[in-house]
């Protein structure tokens, strides 16, 4: 024998949900307020890492250009000015290494006026090279 499905005697449509939602009112805003600083810190760290990587690549390229200039016999002042023109505040030192002429470039990268990161690059070229 089959029993027909019984209908509820009172309507629960809306009443239970309204009370549950009323108890959670503002929780989304509170959770957002807690998560927002963490998201901002992650975004700031990502932007800082991207800036540091960009400056590192520029310093490496400048050191390579300076090494080629030094290998051709250009004056040390021009070699150093090539590096400092590519990256503000960068310095360079020229040193011979066997048949190579190497340039060591370094700079300090300040991110947000708070963190100072030293960056360095070295590049060598064949002495007397073209």
Which tens digit of pLDDT belongs to each residue from 33-48?
A: 889 999 999 998 898 8
Asked whether the CA dihedral 64, 68, 69, 74 is positive or negative, the reply is positive
Q: Which residue has the higher pLDDT, 5 or 15?
A: 5
**pLDDT of the residue at 62:** 94
* Dihedral pair phi/psi, residue 115, rounded to 5°: -110, 130
**pLDDT of the residue at 110:** 86
Please, what's the b/e burial string for 61-93 (b: 16 or more CB within 10 A of its CB; e: otherwise)? Answer: bbbbbbbbbbbeeeeeeebbebbbebbeebebe
* Helix residue ranges per DSSP H, 15-118: 15-23, 27-71, 76-86
pTM exceeding the 0.75 threshold for the entire prediction: no
At 102, which helix (H) or strand (E)?
strand 100-111
Domain ranges of the chain: 40-126
**pLDDT of the residue at 90:** 92
Which tens digit of pLDDT belongs to each residue from 53-77?
A: 999 999 999 999 999 999 998 998 9
> Which has the minimum average pLDDT: 21-25, 42-46, 66-70, 79-83?
21-25
In the beta sheet, which residues pair with residue 93? 104
**Of 24, 88, 19, 23, nearest in space to 58 by CA:** 88
């Amino acid at each position: 024998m089959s029993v027909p499905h019984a209908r509820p005697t009172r309507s629960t449509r809306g009443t239970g949900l309204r009370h549950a939602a009323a108890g959670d009112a503002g929780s989304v805003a509170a959770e957002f307020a807690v998560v927002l600083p963490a998201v901002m810190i992650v975004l700031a760290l990502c932007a800082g890492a991207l800036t540091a990587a960009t400056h590192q690549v520029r310093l490496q390229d400048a050191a390579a250009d300076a090494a080629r200039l030094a290998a051709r016999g250009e004056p040390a002042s021009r070699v150093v000015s090539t590096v400092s023109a590519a990256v503000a505040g960068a310095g360079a030192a020229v040193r011979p290494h066997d048949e190579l002429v190497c340039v060591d470039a370094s700079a300090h990268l300040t991110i947000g006026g708070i963190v100072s990161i030293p960056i360095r690059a070295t590049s060598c070229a064949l002495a007397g090279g073209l």
